[in-house]
Every structure is written in structure tokens, then in C-alpha cells.
Amino acid sequence: MNAVLHVISDRKRHHLPLCEALVEAAAGGADVIQVREKKAPAAETYDLVLKLQAAFAARCLTADIFVNDRTDIAISADLNGVHLAAKSLPIAAVHKLRAKTGWHGKIGCSVHRVEEAVQAEAAGADYVTFGHIFASASHPGLPPQGLRALERVVEAVSIPVIAIGGISAQNVGDVLATGCSGIAVIGAVLEAEHPQLAARALKRAMEAANPSPKVPFHSPLAGRM
């Protein structure tokens, strides 16, 4: 079974223009592109995901597009998922919207403790992201959670767990050995001069680790094919 690679956008951490960098990451093998625009107006975020959809279609790229926080954009643009943050709508509320609208996307959320992961699963999350695993530029000065904490989260839930924080081709084998379903990165791909090559190298390192995820992370498109 393969582990998945999520690449998350950050307007302050990319070498190429953001849209181009995300498209190149998908071309390099990223399984999920998550658009995270915490301060951008909704219209601007909506425009970005539409551009990504058009670029993916033009290049026949199969990566899923998720959006951070904005359930309204996920549904209106028919994205493949929404990733909820601490101040987002509750998971249960997004579940109701998904059922009411017939939207097909996944519902994920960020957690930082085992208890939060268990609660997220009980509320109906399709997956959780846990971190930060190693020292990370996204969380300067905060101590990392470490691999054992990741293992405990993986053991505690029956939904996919995506590890995030300071993960690179050099340490990804240790991360995947915990049984997590995949990894999420920002700088490891987007800050590279060639995001496509960086994503490809990371995917190769993941495959070389011969991972065995406790719970596979399946694309929401799988059930529609």
C-alpha cells in the first residue's frame, strides 16, 4: 500500500508563483494539494482553486484539490476535500452540509493530541493531520511532538492520520514506519527551485520506505469512477 503526499500552500513560502508551484507539485506526484489561504478574501481563494482545476485538467493531473477552512468554497467549486482548523465550522456541521448538498469531498482536521484525534473521529472526520513531528518553520520555538506521539495517534484511531512538520526525504522513512497514512509538507516542496523535482524525490523516498499504512488514504474520486 502506498502512503500519500499532501502539499499545503503558503503564500510566504514558495519559490515559483504560487499557482505554478502547486501545479508543479502535482506534476511531481503530490496526491493532494491543499489550498490554505488564512487571510485571503473568499473570492481570491475561489479564483485560485478554479485556476488549479483548469491547470490540472489541461495537464491531465490527478491530484485531489482540498481547501483549508472554507467549506463554502469546497462545496461551490466541487473540490475533493476541506481541511478544518481550530476556528472552522465543527465537523458535525460540515457533515450536515455534505449530506444536504450531495458534495462528495473528504472532511479532515488538524489535531495536536490523541484526545483530539479520537474526538475528531467520533465527530465524523474522514482523516486527521497530526504534528508538528519535527522542528518546523511553521512553528518556530515550539517543541516538536515526535514520532512516539504520532504512533500513539495512529494507534488510537481508525481513520487515516497524515503526519506534518519538518518532514523531508531524509526522515520520511521513520515517519511512515509509525503506520501513518501519509505526510503533509510545505517548504520541502514549495520552497524548492523546482517543486516538481522536489515532490518526485519525496515520493520516491516514500516508496523506498515500503510503507504499510494502518489505514489507507483513498481519493474521494475513487467512488465516483
Which CATH number do you get for residue 98?
Answer: 3.20.20.70
Q: How far is CA 117 from CA 35, 136, 138, 210, in A?
A: 22, 21, 21, 25
173-197 as b/e: b if 16+ CB within 10 A: eebbebbbbbbbbbbbbbbbeebbe
**Mean pLDDT on 11-27:** 90
Asked if residue 130 is part of any domain, the answer here is no
| Total tally of structural domains belonging to the chain | 1
Q: Which residue has the cell 505526510?
A: 183
Asked if residue 143 is part of any domain, the answer here is no
Asked if residue 20 is part of any domain, the answer here is yes
Q: Which residue has the cell 472526520?
A: 125
pTM reported for the whole predicted model: 0.95
Q: Is 35 annotated as a binding residue?
A: yes
Q: Quick one: which H or E segment has residue 191? A: none
* Beta carbons within 8 Å of 17's beta carbon, 6+ residues apart: none
Q: Is 137 annotated as a binding residue?
A: yes
Phi and psi at residue 129, to the nearest 5°: -110, 130
Question: In terms of Cα–Cα distance, which of 157, 164, 171 is closest to 5?
Answer: 164
Q: Is 87 annotated as a binding residue?
A: no
Q: How far apart are CA 109 and CA 121, in angstroms?
A: 10
Q: Is 34 annotated as a binding residue?
A: yes
pLDDT band at 1 (very low <50, low <70, confident <90, very high): low
**Mean pLDDT on 90-116:** 97
pLDDT band at 38 (very low <50, low <70, confident <90, very high): confident
Asked if residue 82 is part of any domain, the answer here is yes
Please say if the pLDDT value at position 45 is more than 80. yes
Asked if residue 223 is part of any domain, the answer here is no
Asked if residue 28 is part of any domain, the answer here is yes
pLDDT of the residue at 223? 45
Q: Is 214 annotated as a binding residue?
A: no
- The answer to whether residues 71 and 96 touch, using CB atoms and an 8 Å cutoff, is no
Domain that holds residue 75: 4-108+163-216
Q: Is 2 annotated as a binding residue?
A: no
Asked if residue 113 is part of any domain, the answer here is no
Q: Is 139 annotated as a binding residue?
A: yes
Q: Is 105 annotated as a binding residue?
A: no
Residue 176, helix vs strand vs coil: helix
Q: Is 138 annotated as a binding residue?
A: yes
**Mean pLDDT on 176-180:** 98
Q: Is 203 annotated as a binding residue?
A: no
Please say if the pLDDT value at position 224 is more than 70. no
Please say if the pLDDT value at position 19 is more than 70. yes
Q: What is the mean pLDDT of the chain?
A: 94
Residue 216 grid cell: 489507507
pLDDT of the residue at 222? 57
Asked if residue 84 is part of any domain, the answer here is yes
Residue 21, helix vs strand vs coil: helix
